Chains A and B, each alone.
Chain A
Amino acid sequence: MPSAILEIRDVSCALGGRPVLRHIDLKVEEGETVVLLGRSGSGKTTLLKTINGLAPVSAGEVRFEGRAAVQWDAVRMRRRMGYVIQDAGLFPHWTVEANIGLVPRLEKWEPARVAARVELLLAAVGLAPAEFRHRYPRQLSGGERQRVGIARALGADPPLLLFDEPFASLDPITRFELQRQLLELRRTVRKTALFVTHDVREALMLASRIALLDGGALDLVATPAEFRTARTPEARAFLAGLEENGRPN
């Protein structure tokens, strides 16, 4: 039986006195991709940030790898969680190679091992190592930057990946390519992932399970098949948007 790598127990969060998350319960099993779906302001990004300690937990607890987050050293814990954000957040003064090798270097890997890892990861995200290794982020297209962002998150082979709307600012074609790349990656590396998006199509495509957030509370958790027939008003609002826009992708 798969074990829960991440457990969110009755978590609430208030930012500046305003409640953003209310009593969230969610378990993430090893190997699955849970998509946090919701409209802007639903609290999905904040929920993601409570997991790696970038947002405060005001009540409840987050458990990672069987240990309460508060018992973890924050720096150690974050190095076991890859993190990808919109526009990648790459370090502009470092080459692609240096960006991807960040966590392995922080973890004091041998330089040769870092270099081999970077090469493997570049290939894994569909970038030719020889061509891209020495480029700077400004010399990359938006899609290439995001691929490097994903490779960087995979750097030291963390057991959990956190994605915060990574593809939101990409054009539809590049977005679709990267979504497919991510599915492909999931087949090969079998990572556990949490993926934040407001795009229901993306959610249906990538998720093992979809967790729908509405006004800071969990509306429902369902597999994509279940989600398509879900009855809650918020789920139907998202599904209506899907029909409006015609055929999926």
Chain B
Amino acid sequence: MSGSLVREIVSLSLQHVRLVGLTIAIAVTLALPAAVLVARRPATRRWVLGFTNIAQTVPSLALFGFLLPFTGIGEHTAILALSLYALLPILRNTVTGILGVDPAVRESALAMGMTPRQILWQVEMPLAVPSIVAGLRIATVTTIGTATIAAFIGAGGLGVFLVRGIAMMDKQALLAGALPAAAMALAADEGLEWIERRLSPV
């Protein structure tokens, strides 16, 4: 393996991490408040979860294609599309976590004179943490995989190797993209699982 290949693997990996990191940051920023807002409103909840579900069913290559005329070639289009995919697991797991709090615990919180805001921040959110981190884990692992396709719209990342490998039938290029992506996904999965265990409040 030549030195230039190693350097390229490193730089494209870093680009990949950046894509994934920005995507997850945006998805969390949108999904957490949205989950808090819709958890207690069944009608809105169905709409919002329905929308994210539909977004999830659009094939990623097609979604990139749809977005191109509006947002053009490059990283931002990829991040926009990837964020849409990452929304669902985070949103759904946060809602599940909030609604999964033992009704007896919520009832006694209310009966002891906690305000709804205090119940949310001191009781429901801490107890929902394991579920939220589990959602984050699913979102991160899928985004690492899906982000490889973003190379087709010029977003860079490890997908660049895959595009090249497919076009030139170059096995070494395919492996140079696939192996680091797989390793990254495994590491993220293990790491977040560890955090999930550590943060588990009970």
Seen from chain A, the residues whose Cβ lies within 8 Å of a Cβ on chain B are: 52, 54, 75-79, 81, 83, 85-93, 102-103, 106, 136, 138, 152-153, 155, 162
15 inter-chain pairs at a CB distance below 8 angstroms, sorted by A residue, are: A52-B111, A54-B107, A54-B110, A75-B113, A75-B114, A83-B112, A85-B107, A89-B107, A91-B109, A92-B105, A92-B202, A93-B123, A93-B126, A93-B127, A162-B111
B104 CB-CB contact with A under 8 Å = yes
Min distance, Cβ B103 to any Cβ of chain A, angstroms: 9
Q: Kindly list chain A residues whose C-beta atoms are within 8 Å of the C-beta of B115.
A: 75
- Interface mask (B91-123 → A, CB under 8 Å = 1, otherwise 0): 000000000001011011111111100100001
Closest to B116 in A: A75
Instruction: Give complex CA distance A155, B123 in Å.
Output: 18
Contact A79 B113 (CB under 8 A): yes
Contact A91 B123 (CB under 8 A): yes
Residues 185 to 202 of chain B near chain A (Cβ within 8 Å): 201-202
Q: How large is the interface on B (under 10, 10 to 19, 20 to 34, 35 or more residues)?
A: 10 to 19
Instruction: Give complex CA distance A153, B108 in Å.
Output: 10
The binding surface of chain B is classed by DSSP as helix
Min distance, Cβ B193 to any Cβ of chain A, angstroms: 20
Min distance, Cβ A121 to any Cβ of chain B, angstroms: 14
> Which of B112, B113, B123 touches A76 (beta carbons < 8 Å)?
B113
> Which of A77, A81, A92 touches B201 (beta carbons < 8 Å)?
A92
| With contact pairs A75-B113, A75-B115 given, residues A93 and B108 touching in the complex (Cβ less than 8 Å) | no
The binding surface of chain A is classed by DSSP as mixed
Q: Kindly list chain A residues whose C-beta atoms are within 8 Å of the C-beta of B118.
A: 106
Closest to A84 in B: B108
8 nearest A-B residue pairs (beta carbon): A89-B108, A93-B201, A79-B113, A78-B113, A83-B111, A89-B104, A92-B202, A75-B113
Instruction: Give complex CA distance A153, B123 in Å.
Output: 17
Instruction: Give complex CA distance A87, B105 in Å.
Output: 10
Q: Kindly list chain B residues whose C-beta atoms are within 8 Å of the C-beta of A86.
A: 104
Q: Kindly list chain B residues whose C-beta atoms are within 8 Å of the C-beta of A162.
A: 111
Min distance, Cβ A159 to any Cβ of chain B, angstroms: 13
Closest to B108 in A: A89
Min distance, Cβ B109 to any Cβ of chain A, angstroms: 7
Contact B126 A103 (CB under 8 A): no
Q: Kindly list chain A residues whose C-beta atoms are within 8 Å of the C-beta of B104.
A: 85-87, 89
Min distance, Cβ B127 to any Cβ of chain A, angstroms: 6
Instruction: Give complex CA distance A83, B110 in Å.
Output: 10
Residues 120 to 148 of chain B near chain A (Cβ within 8 Å): 123, 126-127
Q: Kindly list chain B residues whose C-beta atoms are within 8 Å of the C-beta of A106.
A: 112-114, 118
